[in-house]
């Protein structure tokens, strides 16, 4: 809250199939009167995730509407064995 360097420490579990090509990330801040987009990114799953043990990267959130980049997000993706 009220910081330019937030830490979310959120964990999500997704059941992805090999035919999923991309994971889309939309990042927003949380304001008392709504939310503002911080940025969006796309991870190419076939190139960076599938067939690898772990994806660990800082992803720059691209500039929007001619503005400078609003930051980056640290993403770690670990694959679990199929059941």
* DSSP for residue 31: B
Q: What is the pTM of this model?
A: 0.70
pLDDT tens digits for 17-51? Answer: 767 788 888 887 776 677 777 788 898 888 887 77
Instruction: For residue 16, give both structure tokens.
Output: 């992805």
- The residues facing 4 across adjacent strands are none
Q: Where are the domains of the chain?
A: 22-77
């Amino acid at each position: 809250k009220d910081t330019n360097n937030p830490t979310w420490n959120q964990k999500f579990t997704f059941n992805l199939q090999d035919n999923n090509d991309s994971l889309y990330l939309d990042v927003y801040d949380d304001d008392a009167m709504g939310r503002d987009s911080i940025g969006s990114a796309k991870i190419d799953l076939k190139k960076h995730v599938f067939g690898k043990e772990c994806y660990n990267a800082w992803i720059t959130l691209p500039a929007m509407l001619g503005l400078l980049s609003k930051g980056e997000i640290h993403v770690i993706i670990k694959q679990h064995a199929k059941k």
